[in-house]
Structure 1
């Protein structure tokens, strides 16, 4: 009888998996921005409302910038052509925005065109970084407005401007800030003073999902936020997070935690979309933190964590009704594949995690890409 070996067996390597991961990693590191087509795409968007025909937020300004950031800018015009039936025009202006009364006028849904004109005027007379920094500071407490799309659109506009401050990109920033201001809202919770004692993962692990009785089903993400009134300990729990340390490093740490949240709960096409916002919202906050004072950057860091925690609280019950997806491998060229896939969330998610992977080389971001492609089918396969 052969004696049992008392030493560990060698790991049997999966060469196919190793090769797929290596190709995806290499492609991620080689991805370079290409903004040659960006301003032309923005011209097609300049007169559009932030609201689509179905009532949801218009992702087009974010998508075209994400494609450019991934070197896929040539795909933007074709993407816009496919989506044009969902766009709506800007409403007529109703009157000027009084800069002394801005607190009274944010969240005024019918004033988008007025806010747009206000920011266009401001950007003609002031440096764009100054305008953006002032208004990011003023609007950050409404980080989760329209499922964080105000933050997202502003961050995409800011990043394009960091490449080149063209007139089309300045107008895109005006549109983004107008969308954020006109649809501004905060989570239905009362803020607690930050206590700063737990790292992101430990703090997030203390966040309890809603009971099944109060958990939302599939629908608008903002409907899930509304249910936070049934999570009385939420504000106290998020206040425990530690915001100290190097800000860029803290954002990278939060990105990794939100990537793990995605891997845990993005199990169906709908929950892929929901938890994409935890990742992309954090990426957007990181971008905006680079143009504001440190104290405002830490507020962005806190709000990004709070936003991801809110998504967990509201939508974990729905996500956990489905089994975890099978382990998958990322495509060899994620940026190109995302452009071909065409889903707006897939494009924005892929760009955000590719950017994070280039900075950190953390394979968790490649896992996010793999799971998103495995769970969210391409349009012709749906």
Structure 2
């Protein structure tokens, strides 16, 4: 991460005087977006972006009553305790190493990963990534020559908690805010899932049923999920390996499949469907900070919410896969009968392949929408994880830029 300027810490300090939501329940995306901007070399745009986005934000909600070890279960999922939960985690992180706090609370929060349309876990994923970066930077400063590695898996090896240097105050505060937001909005699935077919991520996504009545907001749609035939089987269909390294690889495939799928299904709801990729990627980013015993349960927990989001926002008709070139049959951006009928051309794979990931992200930063920025961040991650790059992921990021209106 390009953070020698200290801009990320400055931005987080600005944001920690604001609340995690606005306009009643809409998420404050700024902490996540500024982390992505700094990470991808767009530090110079951060304060200007915040000046614009900050006009939407509100102050912190009032405190209701302190949360304690004796009362946390009653307060879980109660948004009246938004600030109380942030206070609770601030105290926890002041008393114990952040990895220990995360290891205790991650399995407690996983059943409610749908919280605020998955924004709770997404914000935690961004916060954890900054803390891991801080550790890596500090460790590298004291390790001039790294020993040759012998790992055969692409899964990262978690560092020992006692070896972790102390992170900066704003980054620890951001983790407290993120965990507190997730806890206050903790939301389980609308029913138990059936674990049956052991499908690959792409196959599991392709087999998802669709909620026919997609009127109303996410709360209205979630209430109708039990009416979708086969939803419990579909939400339990993904193969979850018990081996931590294999679970990591499977989660990586899920992030990649969700990113690719946006290019063909994102028109169902261009904003909401970015979370089918950014939510599992948030979990993937967090795994290196967790005990390996939690890796498979994390994959098992994140797939059902991804499946449900696709069910309740997926379009009636998918688009063709991104074209190789402009000479191929054109695909339309939005189809009649879906959320909107405005037609916008989908970017081609060849267009995306002609650009670097940094160029694609720079376009997202210039666009300015928080979801466009975060989805491009995930698409760049997917591209970096592929040995030969991933033009389909970059094409999906360009498609999001064409489908989501830029801020005014």
Give the direction of change, closer, same or farther, for the CA distance of 1:379–1:362 in structure 2 (3 Å limit).
Answer: same
Higher deviation after alignment, 142-151 or 318-327: 318-327
Match of 2:178 in 1: 176
Q: CA RMSD in A?
A: 2.1
The answer to whether structure 1 residue 228 and structure 2 residue 225 are counterparts is yes
* CA contact 2:364–2:376 (8 Å) conserved in 1: yes
* CA contact 1:221–1:274 (8 Å) conserved in 2: no
1:305 positional shift: 2.1
Give the Cα separation in 2 of the matches to 1:75 and 1:378.
15
* CA contact 2:207–2:234 (8 Å) conserved in 1: yes
Higher deviation after alignment, 251-260 or 170-179: 251-260
The answer to whether structure 1 residue 370 and structure 2 residue 402 are counterparts is no
Aligned match for 1:186, one of 185, 188, 192 = 188
Alignment of 1:1-382 (within 5 A): 33-34=2-3, 36-53=6-23, 55-164=25-134, 165-192=167-194, 194-195=195-196, 197-211=198-212, 214-216=213-215, 220-244=217-241, 246-267=246-267, 271-317=269-315, 321-322=337-338, 326-328=345-347, 329-330=351-352, 333-360=359-386, 361-379=389-407
1:196 positional shift: 5.7
Give the Cα separation in 1 of the matches to 2:220 and 2:19.
22
* CA contact 1:325–1:371 (8 Å) conserved in 2: no
Give the Cα separation in 2 of the matches to 1:168 and 1:281.
23
1:220-258 residue CA offsets vs partner (Å, 9 max, x unmatched): 334332221212421222222211162332122111211
Q: Give the secondary-structure state (helix, strand or coil) at the position aligned to 1:97.
A: coil
Give the Cα separation in 1 of the matches to 2:364 and 2:92.
36
Q: Give the secondary-structure state (helix, strand or coil) at the position aligned to 1:38.
A: helix
1:92 positional shift: 2.6
1:53 positional shift: 2.8
Query: Gapped runs of 5+ residues in structure 2?
Result: 135-166, 319-336
* CA contact 1:261–1:275 (8 Å) conserved in 2: no
* CA contact 2:376–2:394 (8 Å) conserved in 1: no
Q: Give the secondary-structure state (helix, strand or coil) at the position aligned to 1:242.
A: coil
1:310 positional shift: 0.9
Provide TM-score, normalisation by structure 1.
Answer: 0.83
Q: Which structure exhibits the higher relative contact order, with contacts defined as CA atoms closer than 8 Å and separated by 6 or more residues?
A: 1
Q: Give the secondary-structure state (helix, strand or coil) at the position aligned to 1:84.
A: helix
Provide TM-score, normalisation by structure 2.
Answer: 0.78
1:117 positional shift: 1.3
1:61 positional shift: 1.0
Q: Give the secondary-structure state (helix, strand or coil) at the position aligned to 1:208.
A: coil
* CA contact 1:34–1:70 (8 Å) conserved in 2: no
* CA contact 1:276–1:345 (8 Å) conserved in 2: yes
Give the Cα separation in 1 of the matches to 2:400 and 2:8.
26
Query: Which structure has greater helix proportion?
Result: 1
Q: How many residues align?
A: 342
Give the Cα separation in 1 of the matches to 2:219 and 2:362.
31
Give the direction of change, closer, same or farther, for the CA distance of 1:234–1:33 in structure 2 (3 Å limit).
Answer: farther
Give the Cα separation in 2 of the matches to 1:131 and 1:48.
24
Query: Gapped runs of 5+ residues in structure 1?
Result: 1-31
Give the Cα separation in 1 of the matches to 2:28 and 2:301.
22
Higher deviation after alignment, 147-156 or 319-328: 319-328
Higher deviation after alignment, 324-333 or 74-83: 324-333
Give the Cα separation in 2 of the matches to 1:253 and 1:97.
38
Higher deviation after alignment, 167-176 or 308-317: 308-317
Give the direction of change, closer, same or farther, for the CA distance of 1:81–1:181 in structure 2 (3 Å limit).
Answer: same
